[in-house]
């Protein structure tokens, strides 16, 4: 299954087991979820653990929010990134020192 199908299958099991209506919000992360291929295997585990394991197999930054709409009597599942990706470890270029040549030529000398 792709990532959307995996999450949908987990939420369906929760909904069927609890009798609570669960809805999926519009997936702004479809570009991350759809290409992912995997499967869910769980026995006697809390659904939140299965869900997090599944989400982290797609991207370790994923987390989720479960919001309640009292007008519709519906819980809505939302995905979010918990953190930005780490910055690259590329060192910053050294700052030029006085007298160093620059890409534009020799350093500017206001006396000339």
pLDDT in tens, 2-16: 988 999 899 999 999
- Confidence at 32, pLDDT banded by 50, 70, 90: confident
Task: Count the domains in the chain.
Answer: 1
Main-chain phi, psi angles of 59, to 5 degrees: -160, 125
Domain residues for the domain of 48 are: 3-81
0.75 cut: is pTM over it?
no
pLDDT on residue 16: 92
Which is more confidently placed, 70 or 28?
Answer: 70
92 lies in a domain? no
Classify strands 62-69 and 22-24 as parallel, antiparallel or unpaired.
Answer: unpaired
pLDDT mean over 45-54: 91
In a domain? residue 94: no
């Amino acid at each position: 299954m792709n990532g959307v199908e995996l999450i949908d299958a987990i939420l369906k099991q929760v909904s069927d087991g609890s009798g609570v209506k669960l809805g999926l919000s519009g997936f702004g992360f479809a570009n991350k979820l759809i290409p992912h291929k995997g499967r869910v295997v769980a026995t006697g585990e809390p659904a939140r653990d299965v869900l997090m394991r599944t989400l982290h197999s797609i991207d370790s930054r994923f987390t989720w929010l479960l919001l309640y709409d009292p007008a519709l009597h519906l819980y809505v599942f939302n995905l979010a990134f918990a953190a930005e990706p780490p910055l690259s470890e590329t060192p910053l270029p050294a700052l030029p020192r006085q007298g160093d040549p620059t890409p534009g030529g020799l350093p500017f000398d206001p006396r000339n």
